[in-house]
Amino acid sequence: MILSEKHQMMRNLFRQFAETEFTSELLDELEETGEFNRAMHDKMAQYGFHGVKIPVEYGGQGGDSLAYVLMIEEFARVSPVLSIYANTSNSLGSGPLLFCGTEEQKQKYLVPVAKGEKILVFALTEPGAGSDAGGTLTTAVEDGDYFVLNGRKTFISGAPFADYAVIYARTDPSQKGSKGISMFLVDMKLPGVSCGKPEHKMGIIGYPTSDIILEDVRVHKSDLLGPLHKGFATAMKTLDGGRLGMAAQALGIAQGCLDESIRYAKERKQFGKPIAKFQAISFMIADMATEIEAARQLIYSTAVRKDAGDPESSKLCAMCKLFAAEMGNRVAYKAVQIHGGYGYIKEYKVERFYRDARITSIYEGTSQVQQMVISGNLLK
């Protein structure tokens, strides 16, 4: 697919920003402290990156899915964790709001999130409900003008410093599985909301992930998002965009791995010549580049088709996530192999990429869940 001039300009912008601002000092600091870097969040906000895909009337930049994908790819190519900084606000955070939020909710939550003034996270997973989100145990019971929420959400990216969370809770206990679940916009400062200790993760270190604990949290009815009992069905429709973004993250990681591998293979000498001269190495590089390009074409074209309202787009987004995540892991494996022992050492970028790549086939639906979505679409 040939990018339009505007999308080329955007890619240049994202690339320039990432290459200039994501310095190795910053990346090392994120890795060492594991903490959220507010200054980088704010810098992204200054350029509207948190709202790249959010319409201008809600404080965003008015870009399309391809713009969003290009941003995540280019950011992840330099820093997979920093690509998450500008992600949720454009995908799972804003998605349900744009899709079924009232005008009042959009003004209250979407506008500050698009501008990066507030942070909104997405809380679906529970200890006993991962791939099977229908197993949600968190409850919301109506009480006058309020819903009272109780339960525990787990592995929530950004929870420790979030201002708001989209929380999924069961409102109709008589219904089973994904039915009877509703979405709520929860202010993280409400009495009864607390966070667990940040997890010690394998990768994407520098964007804390923790549990959210809800104990008799009173959420006003005006913060019910979308129709009562039907939140899950609505949410599913917005998950496609998130999958596309995570596919782009895997793509960016793979491209970063390829760039490093090419550089290293030309420099490193064994048996009297650069290892790039050995067919075993050069063919690995050829395979990596080919898979990357295949993923890129699939992702870019899906982004365009999704925006055009293609009825296949749900399946295509799952295909993007499945293929790019598995591809990203294969490529990261080869990149470490090409680096030999040095690839196993923290000073080398591929060591970090290798760990970061691992999450892409797990969150926002494991690869197996994507296979379920794809096959479910084909075999219905």
Ligand X SMILES: Cc1cc2nc3c(=O)[nH]c(=O)nc-3n(C[C@H](O)[C@H](O)[C@H](O)COP(=O)(O)OP(=O)(O)OC[C@H]3O[C@@H](n4cnc5c(N)ncnc54)[C@H](O)[C@@H]3O)c2cc1C
CB atoms within 10 A of CB 129: 18
Closer CB to ligand X, 33 or 131, in the complex: 131
Choose from another protein, ligand X, none: what does 131 bind? Cβ within 5-8 Å by kind: ligand X
Q: Where are the beta strands (DSSP E) in the chain?
A: 120-123, 139-143, 146-157, 164-170, 181-187, 193-195, 209-220, 224-225, 269-270, 273-274
Active-site hit among 74, 260, 326, 364: 364
Residue type (1 letter), 16: Q
DSSP 315-354: HHHHHHHHHHHHHHHHHHHHHHHHHGGGGGSTTSHHHHHH
Fill in the per-residue mask, 12 to 51: x = in contact with another protein (CB under 8 A), - = not in contact: -x--xx-----------------------------xxx--
State which H helix or E strand residue 41 sits in.
helix 38-46
214 binds ligand X (CB under 6 A): no
What is the number of other CB atoms lying within 10 angstroms of the CB of residue 119? Answer: 23
Tokens of 358: 């691992």
Q: How far apart are CA 363 and CA 341, in angstroms?
A: 29
Tokens 């490193």 found at: 268
**Residue from 31, 34, 62, 187 in contact with another protein (CB under 8 A):** 62
Question: Is residue 370 a contact residue for ligand X (CB under 6 A)?
Answer: no
Residue count at the site for ligand X (CB under 6 A)? Answer: 20
362 binds ligand X (CB under 6 A): yes
Is the CB of 90 or the CB of 302 nearer to another protein? 90
Q: Which range of residues in 115-123, 134-142, 271-279, 295-303 is near ligand X by CB under 6 A?
A: 115-123
- Our finding on whether 72 is near another protein (CB under 8 A) is no
Evaluate whether 158 touches 203 at the Cβ level (below 8 Å).
no
Rounded distance between C-alpha atoms, residue 321 and residue 261, angstroms: 23
Structure-token pair, residue 106: 């959009």
- Tell me which of ligand X, another protein, none is bound by residue 63, counting a contact when its beta carbon lies within the kind-specific cut-off of 5 to 8 angstroms: another protein
| CB closer to ligand X, 188 vs 284 | 188
Position 375 contacts ligand X (CB under 6 A)? no
Distance CA 318, CA 135 (A): 21
For position 131 contacting ligand X by CB under 6 A, the verdict is yes
| Binding flag, residue 3, another protein (CB under 8 A) | no
CB of 79 to another protein, least distance (A): 17
Residue 215 designated active-site = no
- Tell me which residues touch ligand X (CB under 6 A): 121-125, 130-131, 155-157, 201, 209, 359, 362-366, 368-369
Indicate which residues carry an active-site annotation.
Answer: 364
- Tell me which residues touch another protein (CB under 8 A): 5-6, 9-10, 13, 16-17, 47-49, 52, 56, 61-63, 67
